[in-house]
Structure formats: structure tokens, C-alpha cells
Structure 1
């Protein structure tokens, strides 16, 4: 995990000049990205309003995201100025009246990064065609950012993870006991098992690594995440059906997922860049007879593991990063990791509950 970035390692990202004045940042732009922006704009410390373009979207439509080759050198400065302005104390998005305008202008610049042969920051193979929502200090969506570029701008990202577990019945050893499954043996640490998923080997990120049984790894408006107007709980229930064939059609089906925790971290990922991450965590206790079935091709397969096996996979680095933190949180809450046996207990607790300086969503749709 990364120590909190500062102005020495990047510049704060602001929605507008008012946010810059009040120091309400929504991200932190890495120093190498800042240098590239200054090079493309033709000077260091670009000044001006950044209000460019000839139409409501700064002259660049969202439909251009497919890419059409490199942008001419003379147009690079226009792309930068249409999207943002670099100041000594921060990067400010161009003047725009709507979220769609900010999104379109910034995405046009990101597409050019992706397609430029002399820029290695955003590989075409990593482009997802999905967008993270970025919230301002008032809880409104200010813009949406291509998922693959979120780490360049250090904007806050989100996910929902489900820890699915069961207790295997332990037969009685007493010949006089008419109940083969004594109640005092049904909920012990020794017979707890956790369902884990192995990610598809064709996934763009962390192929073949272990994962929670169900997760929504982002909050874009479409594909694989939390649609607007859908709460984390509603989202995880939706993903249960799509990823594991776990359907809650009636109250009698299964115990429903319970929201149990939120973890926050600031990761420095070679694959994804700077990631201020927030994960909503849910637990569900399933009957031993339940077996998950992949429905959407995102998962190679599921495994039912003992806690010892889960711990070994964690220590071997076989879980994707966010899922590893979610499993650690589960082990803490269920008493498998405690201060009497783990010397780094306090550091672990603080490490998965880092204060993040950027605003997040507010769920008040009802």
C-alpha cells in the first residue's frame, strides 16, 4: 500500500476553480502524467481557463472513444486545454456546465493518450470501455473516467465484495446420540469453509487469481458494477445471480447478504497506478448443500476451502489485492486473526481503514 501521495508526487485534481479555492480535490494526478500534460500543451505551468472547443462537449464526442489513430502534434495542445488546466498547485478541469461535458472533454484526451505511439501510460489493450463515476464534495457525480485511466488521475474507486461461507456438519461420535449433528459442533472454526472464485484466465486484470465468491469491482454506469440509483446492497444481490447463480427470489431461499464492513486503502499498483480504493463488504452464510455456478464467464471456477487453505493462499499472494484485503477483514471479524496471535494486528487494522481525502457517493435514492 502507498503512503498518502502529496504535492511532491503529484498534483490535486479539482472539478473547477471553486473547488481549487476551497481545496476540495477529487483525485491526485501523478507527476509523470502532469509532465506529459505540460509537454502536450507546449509549456510548463499552463495558465488559462481551459475552456476550449466549439460545441457543448468541447468539440469531442463520446463516440470518438473507439480511437482513430494518433492526433497531430498541433492538436495535442488543443486537446489538453479543452479538458483541463495545469497550475502549480493543482490540475483543474475545464469550465463545463454538465457532467457529460467534463466526461467528453477528458475522455477525448485519454483516447489520445491511448492511441499515441510515444505514450506508454495507457496501453490500448487495457482500455475497458467502462467508466468510473467521480463524486464531488456535495455528493453529486461530477464526471466519469475511463476505468483503465483512473489510476493516472488517482480518482477514488469502489467495489462490492461478498464473503460466502458455510459450516460443514460434523457427525457425532457417540453411539447413544440420536442426533448425528450436535448443535455445539455446527458452528466451530474447524468446520468453517469459504467459497472462493478463481478469475477467468482471459480477464484483463489479475487473470487466474483467486477472488471472493461474488464481487462488483467498480461503480461505472454500465457493465460489471454499480449502476446509478442502485445501492451497494442491491448491487451485490444482482451480482449474486449473475456471477454465482445465487438467487434471492423469496425470503425462504437463503439468508441474504449482510453489509458488515467497509475497507479503505491507497494502493500503488504497477498494473493500475494510484488507487484510492473503497470496498463495501458483505457476508453470507450458506447451507453446505449450496454450490455456486458461474453464469457470466467471469470466473474459471469455484473452490470450497478451509480457513487454513485460505490463509495459505493469502500468504502466497494468490488473491487479487482488493479481495485479499476483504478476506483479511473477514478473518479479523470472525476471530481467526486477533491481537494475541498477530504481532502486526494494529497495523493491519489501520492499513485497511485508511482515511481517504476525496469525496464519495451518498445513497439517498429512496
Structure 2
């Protein structure tokens, strides 16, 4: 059983795993394997793609004959104003990891396909202890405006590896030089499935650590960040424990960091780690 000191962290894991799949959604199949879970409320959207043979709507499932049709479906639904596109393309993969097509990022939660992203802990070792760079999201962000965030975080666009995504986002979001960003080390990979206002999120997060020089000061490049703040890790720990100020999935990556830093006692660490990575 978790101690009273560690119990508050559990809510962040539960929040990001608030759904039991398939959760009433319709399986999206390709080559007989499930690649997504479609929101039944959006079934009417698929009439036109079905008429063109891009989808086959069956009894209790939807079949995608050709994965390359996903991009056509994305364009078609955008033209019909069924959704507001990001104009950012993500790869859709089969269960074995094979890329079968691309989809607009905004449709991912509608079709319930798995998405990947990277999160990086930007760490600074000072004489007074370990510190973490924290970003505040722009109030103009479509999702979670104004929330606290990692120094670097972003979705894995089509054609990019996690490492390439990290370098790209590091330059765009915090002006971290490529040579420095490449020193980031992969620490863990997290998974979760949750329902959100935008739909079903089935995310895979590649988590990285990067030790930054004391004199490094991040600068926003793409307008997605309002400000940056260097905070003692202990203060970040308290924020995660006591508030919901951080974007929902950032809490999971920070909890993973706290576990690796040994900031919980042994029993709490075992329970939290099993719950987080289970």
C-alpha cells in the first residue's frame, strides 16, 4: 500500500488510464489486425470514404483495404469540415510496427490509432542541487493552453525516429543546438490509453534526459512556449504531488524521473513503478 506521502501521485497515472478498451468503439482493421478504435459518434463521417472504397464498413468493424487511403480520408474529411486539421502527418503502424499509412494528427483520437511522441527532461546540476527546466505552454495552444510542460516535448511526425524528433523539437521549442541535443539519453518508454475531450488517446512516449550546461538559457523558436523557468527538482516534485499545473502526460514522465532519482522510499517506489510501467 502506498504511503500518504506518495499516494497523491497515483491520480496522475489513473487519469491517463481512465478507459478500458475497446470502450464501445469500433475496431479499425487492416490485414485482419486492429490498428485503431473508431468513435461510433463519427461513423456518419465515413459514408463518403466508404463510397469511394477507401473503407469497408462491416458488422461491428471497419476495414481499411489500403493503408495509403488514410491520407485521402484525412483530406476528404477536412474538406467536409468534419474536423480542424493540424496539417501535421503522423505514421499509422500495424501491431508489428510496420508503417501502413499517414493520418492528420487531429484525426488520431477520432480513429483511436496509437501515436508516438518524445518528452525530454532538461536537467541542470548546480551546487545547490539538481534543477529542471520547465516550460509554460502558450495560451494559444489548441490542447492544454497555459499548462506547464517539459523543456522539449512533441509528437513524432511521419518519417521521423524518436531521436530525430527529439533533435527537431529541441531546436524548434528551446533553441537547443543539434550537437547538444544529441547527447540526450533514452531513459524509458511509457504507454497509456485515455479518453479526452478530443477523443481516445493511445500514446507511446519516448522519455529522454539531457544534462544541460549551467549557462544555457532556452529560447522559444516556434511560439508554442510562453516562458521557461529553471526550478529545483524538489519544487517540481511538490508541484506534481499537490497540483494539476502540468499537462496531463508530463506528470507521468516526471514521475518516472522522480523514481529514477530515488525520491520515494523503497516500498512506494516498487508500487509506483509497477503501476506506471505495468
- Which category of TM-score, normalised to the shorter sequence, fits these structures? 0.7 to 0.9
Per-residue CA deviations over 1:77-106 (Å, capped at 9, x if unaligned) read 44433232222231112x34x62x342135
Higher RCO (CA 8 Å, separation ≥ 6 residues): 2
The 1-side partners of 2:221 and 2:134 are apart by: 15
Matches within 5 A, 1:4-43: 4-6=20-22, 9-15=24-30, 19-20=31-32, 24-34=33-43, 36=44
Change (3 A) 1:260 1:88: same
Partner of 2:224: 298
Change (3 A) 1:307 1:103: same
Q: Is this contact kept in 2: 1:166–1:287, CA < 8 A?
A: yes
TM-score, normalised by the number of residues in structure 1 = 0.65
TM-score, normalised by the number of residues in structure 2 = 0.84
Change (3 A) 1:92 1:113: farther
The 2-side partners of 1:113 and 1:353 are apart by: 38
The 1-side partners of 2:251 and 2:213 are apart by: 24
SS at match of 1:139: coil
Matches within 5 A, 1:195-344: 195-216=133-154, 218-221=155-158, 228=159, 230-249=160-179, 256-270=183-197, 272-314=198-240, 315-341=242-268
**Structure of higher CA gyration radius:** 1
How many residues were matched structurally?
A: 260
Q: Is this contact kept in 1: 2:170–2:176, CA < 8 A?
A: yes
Partner of 1:48: none
RMSD: 2.4
Query: Which structure 2 segments of 5+ residues have no match?
Result: 1-16
Greater share of strand: 2
Partner of 1:157: 115
The 1-side partners of 2:60 and 2:130 are apart by: 52
Runs of 4+ off more than 6 Å: none
Partner of 2:18: 2
The 1-side partners of 2:96 and 2:267 are apart by: 42
Q: Is this contact kept in 2: 1:84–1:91, CA < 8 A?
A: yes
Partner of 1:194: 132
The 2-side partners of 1:336 and 1:302 are apart by: 24
SS at match of 2:86: coil
1:353 matches 2:273 = no
Change (3 A) 1:255 1:138: closer
